[in-house]
């Protein structure tokens, strides 16, 4: 067994490092066997020091257990004496005299996709939570993004350590926070993966539980959310409701509801379905003059008077009565929604009224939330669409996304958009900015100019004629082709609004490409037709089945740079170098620019077993397609060529 002192050169390198910390710990007594100079400077530790001088004992236990399971173990430490956001690599070491030890290497954490994703989540959620976790539905692991800093008894920062754990392990750690077994069982049921996914289909999933820490306890909220931009991941947050519970009961309920609903509603009321009373959560001019609390009948009567249409009056009285709401929610309804005319303003308008159960069950068992929203503008937009004879259903069925854009200010709204487009309306007011942001995430770089100059020239400079239409075709990062149809909405004063309609163009592009090749070469006239792309060294055989052109990789050979090409190629070895020369990128570029077509006679194997060769005429047609330069190779038996 070699003594570490013999590696004085390596030790000298480690001791001179000012951004890398390394220490080795004995598994027998958790004493330091070696630490480099940086560790000594920052912690005062040296050989034979206790583990606590440099690292948290609980984290050491977790890390070494994982190391034992799979060899080297890596994770991230958020806070430590060696700095914030550090990579930790743990390895087994057999020390002098056979002592089993573990090395801890602490290095700077470089920015990567995981870091960018983490910052994106923080920018949306903020960092006011007690914990933030990400649940990866593919791997089944839970990672910690945010955790409160912990200190030991002498006030030295213990650190915050982020070990990815299995979902079961994470769920056990959460349920352990509950003091009573009954509450723990309730938590286990609420944290069942199937229950989480089922509830997330209807929106955010949240519940409350009482968290115990020593002799103290407080109410906490666990909330699961899905973000459109985080594929395959679910965000889970935990926050304390202590401040809310310190309010009086009525203030607490109102505060919880307001925090849940945000500012999207103009006025909000909490209805007690058991007593038939209401309290005001958020008052607004839509229903001015109503007392802060009282009989729900009073509130209902005032709303009824503000609805001028008799049929709508009767509908409101029927649908939003205490009895009807109680029955609806008793039967499992998620919400009750209606839209009515109103005379709240000088002109006739529209109000959207929605009743639903509060997002928390504790203390709200016999209540519902009643919200009022001014939807006059929404109705006006819908009416404009109908006046312009734009059939929304037709647009929705044909296109994958449709945006209506006002040329005056670039404002927009959409219909029937998939998840990847939904965030656009939430975050941007101008279509040009929205499309540029979309392009960065979903469009191949060579097509982003469309979103930087093409579309902005239409919506910012109004470069589109009345009755005219524009089309743009681009490829997404997934490889699919999309066509954007831009056409104006007719008006007497010229186009004031345009429609951007996104259409799946993949099949059409493929057919167009194949038809172009077919029209260039009559496949039936040749013994074989090969398409070669030197940019990615791919070679395909083309054949015609009477209806469609079929692309298949030629048997027994890859691209010309493939290790197996020389061995499997059917061309005679003496002719192979000339064939390769005709397919190289430089030859293709030169031939495309000069419009050359090259022909050669090559010996080609007709029978692999007998080694018989026959003379074939090879023609190399060079062309450019969608920015890629390729070569189409046609083969015909020389005897047939002469005939």
| CATH, domain 249-379, list 3.40.50.720, 1.10.645.10, 3.30.2090.10, 3.30.450.20 | 3.30.450.20
- Output the pLDDT for position 560: 84
pLDDT reported for residue 568: 75
3-state secondary structure 304-350: HHCCCCHHHHHHHHHHCCHHHHHHHHHCCCCEEEEEEEECCCCCCEE
Predicted TM-score of the model (pTM): 0.34
Model confidence band, residue 156 (pLDDT cutoffs 50, 70, 90)? very low
Cβ-proximal residues to 342 (8 Å cutoff; 6+ apart), any chain: 286, 306, 307, 308, 348, 349, 350, 351
Q: Is the pLDDT of residue 142 over 80?
A: yes
Name the pLDDT band for 24 (thresholds 50, 70, 90).
very high
| Rg of the chain, C-alpha, whole Å | 35
The pLDDT value given to residue 537: 84
What per-residue confidence (pLDDT) applies to 2? 42
pLDDT tens for 548-590 read 667 776 655 567 887 777 777 788 888 888 999 999 999 999 9
Both tokens of 177, joined, read: 């926070």
Is 404 in contact with 414 (CB distance < 8 Å)?
yes
Under the banding of pLDDT at 50, 70 and 90, the label for residue 326 is very high
- Could you give the angle at the alpha carbon of 171 between the alpha carbons of 167 and 175, nearest 5°? 175
Phi, psi of 586 (to 5 degrees): -65, -40
Burial 414-426 (b: 16+ CB within 10 A, else e): bbebeebbebbee
Q: Which of 530, 562, 506 is nearest to 633 (CA)?
A: 530
Q: Average of pLDDT values for 271-282?
A: 88
Per-residue pLDDT of 357-391, as tens digits, reads 875 555 667 888 888 888 877 776 666 555 444 44
The reported pLDDT for the residue numbered 467 is 47
520 pLDDT higher than 60: no
d(CA 318, CA 458): 49
Over 60: is that where the pLDDT of 60 sits?
yes
Residues 70, 72, 75, 80, CA torsion sign? positive
Instruction: Using the predicted structure, report yes or no on whether residue 48 has a pLDDT greater than 60.
Output: yes
Average pLDDT of the chain to the nearest whole number:
77
Reported confidence tier of residue 393, pLDDT bands at 50, 70, 90: very low
The separation between CA 139 and the C-alpha centre of its own chain, rounded to angstroms, equals: 16
Instruction: Give residue 508's Cα distance to chain centre.
Output: 28
Region 168-195 average pLDDT = 84
| Domain 114-245: assigned CATH number | 3.30.450
Which of 11-15, 92-96, 114-118, 505-509 has the largest mean confidence? 92-96
Res 316: pLDDT: 94
132 and 121 in contact (C-beta within 8 Å)?
yes
220-238 pLDDT, tens digit per residue, is 888 888 776 667 788 888 8
Contacts of 450 (CB under 8 A, 6+ apart): 439, 443, 472, 474, 484
pLDDT digits (tens, 9 = 90+) for 78-106: 777 888 778 889 998 887 667 789 999 99
Q: How confident is the model at residue 287 (pLDDT cuts 50, 70, 90)?
A: low
Which SS3 state, helix, strand or coil, does residue 345 take?
coil
Alpha-carbon gap, residue 135 to 140, rounded angstroms: 7
| pLDDT confidence of residue 160 | 61
What are residue 294's DSSP bridge partners?
A: 278
Q: Is 477 helix (H, G, I), strand (E, B) or coil?
A: coil
**pLDDT, position 630:** 87
| 3-class secondary structure, 550 | strand
Query: Which CATH code, of 3.30.420, 1.20.58, 3.40.5, 3.30.450, is assigned to 510-642?
Result: 3.30.450
Query: For the chain, how long is the longest CA-to-CA vector?
Result: 102
Alpha carbon dihedral 92, 95, 99, 101, in 10-degree steps, equals -30
Q: Which fold has domain 4-110?
A: Beta-Lactamase (3.30.450)
Residue 53: closest CA among 31, 79, 69 = 31
The residue ranges of DSSP E strands in 489-548, in sequence order, are: 497-504, 528-533, 538-544
- Residue 142 near residue 132, CB atoms below 8 Å: no
Domain spanning 388-504, CATH class:
alpha beta
* Residue range(s) in the chain whose domain bears CATH number 3.30.450.20: 4-110, 249-379, 388-504
Mind giving me the DSSP string for 100-163? EEEEEEEEE----HHHHHHHHHHHHH-S-SSEEEEEETTT-EEEEEE----B-TTS-B--EEE-
The per-residue pLDDT for 1 is 38
Share of the chain above pLDDT 70, in %: 73
Cα–Cα distance for residue pair 245/323, rounded to 1 Å? 30
Amino acid 390: pLDDT:
45
Residues 6+ apart with CB under 8 A from 564: 556, 557, 558
3-state SS assignment for residue 214: coil
| Other Cβ atoms closer than 10 A to 640 | 12
- pLDDT at 122 (0 to 100): 65
Mean pLDDT of 505-519: 65
């Amino acid at each position: 067994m070699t003594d570490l002192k013999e590696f004085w050169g390596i030790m000298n390198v480690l001791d001179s490092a000012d951004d890398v910390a390394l220490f080795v710990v004995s598994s027998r007594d958790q004493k330091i066997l070696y630490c480099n100079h940086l560790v000594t400077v920052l912690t005062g530790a040296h050989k034979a020091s206790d583990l606590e001088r440099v690292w948290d004992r609980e984290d050491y236990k977790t890390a070494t257990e994982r190391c034992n399971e799979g060899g080297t173990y890596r994770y991230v430490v958020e806070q430590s004496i060696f700095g914030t956001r550090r990579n930790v690599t743990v390895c087994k070491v057999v020390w002098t005299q056979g002592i089993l030890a573990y090395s801890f290497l602490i290095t700077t954490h470089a920015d990567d996709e995981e870091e960018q994703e983490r910052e994106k989540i923080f920018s949306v959620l903020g960092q006011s939570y007690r914990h933030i976790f990400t649940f990866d539905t593919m791997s089944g692991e839970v990672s910690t993004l945010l955790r409160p800093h912990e200190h030991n008894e002498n006030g030295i920062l213990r650190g915050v350590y982020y070990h990815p754990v299995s979902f079961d392990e994470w769920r056990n750690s959460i349920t352990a926070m509950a003091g009573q077994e009954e509450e723990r069982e309730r938590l286990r049921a609420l944290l069942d993966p199937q229950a989480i996914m089922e509830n997330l289909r209807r929106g955010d999933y949240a519940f409350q539980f009482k968290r115990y820490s020593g002799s103290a306890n407080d109410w906490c909220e666990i909330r699961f959310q899905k973000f459109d931009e985080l594929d395959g991941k679910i965000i889970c947050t935990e926050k304390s409701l202590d401040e809310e519970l310190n309010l009086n009961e009525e203030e607490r309920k109102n505060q919880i509801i307001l925090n849940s609903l945000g500012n999207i509603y103009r006025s909000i009321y909490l209805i007690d379905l058991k007593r038939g009373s209401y309290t005001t959560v958020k008052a607004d001019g839509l229903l001015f003059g109503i007392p802060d609390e009282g009989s729900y009948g009073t509130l209902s009567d005032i709303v009824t008077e503000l609805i001028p249409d008799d049929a709508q009056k009767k509908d409101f009285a029927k649908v939003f009565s205490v009895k009807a709401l109680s029955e609806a929610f008793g039967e499992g309804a998620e919400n009750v929604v209606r839209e009515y005319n109103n005379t709240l303003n000088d002109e006739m308008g529209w109000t959207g009224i929605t009743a639903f159960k509060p997002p928390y069950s504790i203390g709200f068992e016999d209540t519902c939330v009643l919200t009022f929203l001014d939807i006059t503008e929404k109705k006006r937009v819908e009416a404009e669409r109908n006046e312009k004879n734009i059939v929304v259903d037709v647009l929705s069925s044909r296109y994958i996304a449709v945006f209506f854009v006002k040329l005056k200010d670039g404002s927009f709204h959409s219909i029937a958009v998939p998840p990847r487009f939904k965030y656009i309306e939430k975050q941007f007011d101008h279509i040009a900015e929205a499309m540029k942001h979309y392009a960065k995430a979903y469009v191949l770089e060579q097509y982003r100019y469309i979103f930087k100059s093409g579309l902005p020239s239409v919506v910012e400079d109004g470069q589109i004629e009345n009755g005219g239409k524009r089309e743009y075709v681009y490829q997404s990062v997934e490889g699919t082709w999309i066509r954007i149809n831009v056409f104006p909405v007719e008006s007497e004063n010229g186009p004031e609004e345009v429609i951007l309609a996104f259409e799946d163009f993949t099949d059409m592009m493929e057919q167009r490409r194949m038809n172009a090749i077919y029209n260039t070469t009559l496949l039936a006239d040749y013994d074989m037709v090969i398409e070669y792309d030197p940019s990615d060294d791919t070679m395909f055989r083309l054949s015609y089945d009477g209806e469609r052109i079929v692309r298949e990789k030629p048997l027994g050979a890859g691209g010309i740079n493939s290790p197996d090409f020389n061995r499997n190629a059917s061309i005679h070895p003496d002719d192979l170098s000339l064939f390769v020369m005709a397919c190289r990128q430089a030859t293709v570029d030169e031939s495309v620019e000069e419009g050359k077509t090259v022909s050669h006679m090559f010996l080609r194997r007709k029978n692999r077993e007998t080694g018989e060769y026959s003379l074939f005429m090879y023609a190399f047609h060079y062309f450019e397609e969608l920015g890629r330069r390729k070569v189409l190779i046609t083969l015909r038996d020389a005897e047939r060529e002469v005939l």
